[in-house]
Amino acid sequence: MKAFTLKHRPQLQRGFTLIELMIVVAIIGILASVAIPQYSKYLINAKLAKVASVASPIKLAISHYYQVNGKYPPALASGADWTEIGIGQAGGANVTTREVQRVDILANGVIELTLQDIKANDIDGKIISLTPTVGDVAMTWEANSTSTDLAVADALKNWK
């Protein structure tokens, strides 16, 4: 009788093994768990930069008013006639944007910006307050918010 021997023929590998695919999926999941919160924070910072650009000319107008008159301007509601402080046209200042629902100036020079369309938890409808402090050389501003979102707190640290 003739002996039967098996010959091993190496085959080319085709495709991936299950463990290799699982490792790739796990790596993608880890990267996504880091990237998505960072991207959300980036979007919030970008929208808050637009809010800061709305506040800048108002801060300048209040600083100028204080320098000329020696006092803060009177309280002005959003949509009021802001020509007294050099902003807008008679009949109402349109200082709202997509991200800013309304802007109010309080009697003590505080600017209140009501946020909208930020599309993040605990931010829409919240208020950013810019409080002026008169120093020897310049007026400085402190930013606070009614939002508890950490991205907002981080962004406000850079507002001067």
Amino acid residing at 86: G
> Model confidence at 158, in pLDDT bands (50, 70, 90)?
confident
Dmax over CA atoms of the chain, in Å, equals 118
Q: Which domains does the chain have, with CATH numbers?
A: 18-156 (3.30.700.10)
Contact residues for 77 (Cβ-Cβ < 8 A; gap 6+) = 104
- Please give the model's pTM, rounded to 2 decimal places: 0.76
- Write out pLDDT tens, residues 38-90: 998 888 888 999 999 989 999 999 999 999 999 999 998 877 777 888 777 55
pLDDT value of residue 108? 94
pLDDT value of residue 27? 97
> Closest Cα to residue 113, out of 131, 127, 99, 98?
127
